[in-house]
A and B are shown apart, each in its own frame.
Chain A
């Protein structure tokens, strides 16, 4: 068995167990009318971390491949908001959603979802009160943006962060008609803080 297969199968099992825990918590919520949103969020975050670890490992080994799946981008952002909103609210951070990409686009849906979840969590760590997730379509293609009202990136490009490195390489792997995607990091958000923008052709 290859090291990658071993790792992947371990992660697969762990995620199945997380799912069992998630279903029990959801059932308890429904049965007792209580809010265990933070427990659910912890499970989602753990799964997200496992995905990211596997993706980072694949990238190191140059074995990462993207899988193009027609995906409605507004829907994808809605799901990221669903995963994150509760947790952000618990820390008194508001998550704004401003989506204008109702078309299906050929993207790697799961990787993109993980990257956006990660970006929103990063932004929330530095935000004072607000994080905004927005998306749209223009002549260049598709853009997805996560902004916050915090102090902004200390360095651009930032010196560390597997999440950001992965996001950049994910963007570059989306290619079409001779053009490729890219990650833009800046401190010019209208909210006053950092701006993380994925541009995909």
Chain B
């Protein structure tokens, strides 16, 4: 019995009862006193949120279209899993190694069945040593003190104790650089990792860094390479889709996401991205189906945002189903609507005006001065343009169109904006706006 693990709280996540028992037995053999079970994905989330265990042993296959990898990613994204908690993936599939070697979000370690208690013990001891090594760094990272976190890594980097962790240090460094917005330094850091080995996650890191620098063609070349060589690295498909959208190629974005979303039917962040791509692509049916799925099935607490409901209403408006759009908007809670940002309020009023003019017009008119003077995001600007064109308010529509065409995302939303003008027989006016923006840009340069 090992005293070190006696006081630790273990959580075993596995949908198969015999496998669960086996894991518990092994955990008890290494000295675990407290071993809890989770029998499925939701149960695991609930237990981790309410009473975070010290050590999680999670089977890779959780059934019901879910994997341990998806659980891990969702836990990290919603910040439900502190860096201090041990997450060990357990799997009978040697092919999980292909996943771990590719993806960005990895467990502390993985272990392939069958394994002896001694082996698990050895692995857990090593993870605890790693956690101790990075303890000060984790603290600063959590406080978002990025400079201090980087300084800690730099100071430890060349020490003898750091030798087992050299890749982990390089990886953390690159991630922090990207998180603090220094995408050039992040690019250099990821390229340095690629010098040591062709890691798909590092190449995807280069692509993300280039994307942030608006070097889209180069970013696209890098991410194309990753997607082609590692089809099971699903996050790379998301990165590719974002880049394609920014390049004004929503068909390609949707194609990539469609394929991956079929393999990960319960990844709702991806479904949202798919809806965005489909909307830009004019595929209103796909956008609507994806957002309806998100709203019905994304049970992660706090995951559904008012923006999701606006996205559903947008897809309904775009497909001409004004009655459903109105129902979606009316269905939003009063408090939810009141707490919307100005962007959200603009979209809400605009979409309502399109879906049910008699219901939305007054609010839309009330917002008009703000819509002229404020800096809105591009999604809101597109909604406002749509509503204003319908009302015959050329001044408001053209004002938004100017900003849309002058923005960094002009390529991304160009097709959608042009279509709106065409819908109202104003293609010529749109071309004129486009020309003016281009001329102004030349004068500035």
* A176 proximity list for chain B (CB < 8 A): 196-197
Whether the Cβ atoms of A110 and B97 lie closer than 8 Å is yes
Whether the Cβ atoms of B115 and A19 lie closer than 8 Å is yes
Whether the Cβ atoms of A22 and B167 lie closer than 8 Å is no
Whether the Cβ atoms of B114 and A47 lie closer than 8 Å is yes
Which residues of A31-76 have CB atoms within 8 Å of chain B's CB atoms?
A: 40, 43-44, 47, 51, 54, 65, 67-70, 72, 75
**Contacting residue for A20 out of B19, B98, B126, CB 8 A:** B19
Whether the Cβ atoms of B101 and A12 lie closer than 8 Å is no
How far does the alpha carbon of A39 sit from the alpha carbon of B92 in the complex, in Å? 19
- Contacts A106-B199, A108-B97 hold; do A26 and B117 have CB atoms under 8 A apart? yes
State the Cβ distance, B118 to closest chain A Cβ, in Å. Answer: 6
How far does the alpha carbon of A108 sit from the alpha carbon of B196 in the complex, in Å? 14
Whether the Cβ atoms of A104 and B116 lie closer than 8 Å is no
Whether the Cβ atoms of A102 and B94 lie closer than 8 Å is no
How far does the alpha carbon of A21 sit from the alpha carbon of B113 in the complex, in Å? 11
Whether the Cβ atoms of B112 and A24 lie closer than 8 Å is no
Whether the Cβ atoms of B19 and A69 lie closer than 8 Å is no
B95 within 8 A of A: yes
* A188 proximity list for chain B (CB < 8 A): none
- Contacts A44-B116, A68-B199 hold; do A20 and B22 have CB atoms under 8 A apart? yes
B164 within 8 A of A: yes
Whether the Cβ atoms of A103 and B163 lie closer than 8 Å is yes
Whether the Cβ atoms of B114 and A68 lie closer than 8 Å is no
Whether the Cβ atoms of B167 and A70 lie closer than 8 Å is yes
Query: How many cross-chain pairs have Cβ atoms below 8 Å apart between A and B?
Result: 109
- Contacts A20-B19, A51-B94, A67-B97 hold; do A26 and B114 have CB atoms under 8 A apart? no
Count chain B CB atoms within 10 A of each CB in A30, A44, A70, A106 and give the residue with the most.
Answer: A70
| Per-residue interface assignment for chain A, residues 87 to 120, with 1 indicating a CB less than 8 Å from any chain B CB and 0 otherwise | 0000000000000001110101110000000000
- Interface band, chain A: 35 or more
Which one of B23-31, B298-306, B429-437 is at the interface?
Answer: B23-31
Whether the Cβ atoms of B94 and A70 lie closer than 8 Å is no
**Contacting residue for B116 out of A22, A68, A72, CB 8 A:** A22
- Contacts A44-B114, A65-B98, A69-B100 hold; do A26 and B164 have CB atoms under 8 A apart? no
A18 within 8 A of B: yes
A16 within 8 A of B: yes
* A190 proximity list for chain B (CB < 8 A): none
Whether the Cβ atoms of B119 and A18 lie closer than 8 Å is no
- CB-nearest residue of chain B relative to A114? B94
State the Cβ distance, B164 to closest chain A Cβ, in Å. Answer: 4
* B22 proximity list for chain A (CB < 8 A): 19-20, 22-24
Which residues of B7-36 have CB atoms within 8 Å of chain A's CB atoms?
A: 16, 18-19, 21-23, 25-26, 28-29
**Contacting residue for A110 out of B16, B29, B112, CB 8 A:** B112
Whether the Cβ atoms of B115 and A102 lie closer than 8 Å is no
Interface of chain A: mostly helix, strand, loop or mixed: helix
B47 within 8 A of A: no
B165 within 8 A of A: yes
* A65 proximity list for chain B (CB < 8 A): 98
B427 within 8 A of A: no
Whether the Cβ atoms of A16 and B101 lie closer than 8 Å is no
* A47 proximity list for chain B (CB < 8 A): 113-114
State the Cβ distance, A107 to closest chain B Cβ, in Å. Answer: 9
B147 within 8 A of A: no
- CB-nearest residue of chain B relative to A16? B92
Which residues of B164-208 have CB atoms within 8 Å of chain A's CB atoms?
A: 164-168, 196-199
Whether the Cβ atoms of B92 and A67 lie closer than 8 Å is no
State the Cβ distance, B67 to closest chain A Cβ, in Å. Answer: 14
Whether the Cβ atoms of A68 and B101 lie closer than 8 Å is yes
- Contacts A69-B101, A108-B97 hold; do A82 and B119 have CB atoms under 8 A apart? yes
Known pairs A27-B29, A104-B164 / 17 extra A-B pairs, C-beta < 8 Å: A16-B113, A19-B115, A20-B21, A22-B115, A23-B26, A24-B22, A26-B116, A44-B114, A47-B113, A47-B114, A67-B100, A70-B166, A82-B119, A82-B122, A83-B116, A104-B165, A104-B167
28 A-B pairs with CB atoms under 8 Å apart are A15-B112, A19-B19, A19-B113, A19-B114, A20-B19, A20-B22, A22-B26, A27-B25, A43-B114, A44-B114, A65-B98, A67-B97, A67-B102, A68-B101, A69-B97, A69-B101, A75-B126, A75-B164, A82-B118, A83-B119, A103-B163, A104-B164, A106-B167, A106-B196, A108-B97, A109-B97, A110-B94, A110-B97
Closest A-B pairs by Cβ, 6 of them: A106-B197, A67-B101, A70-B167, A23-B22, A19-B114, A19-B113
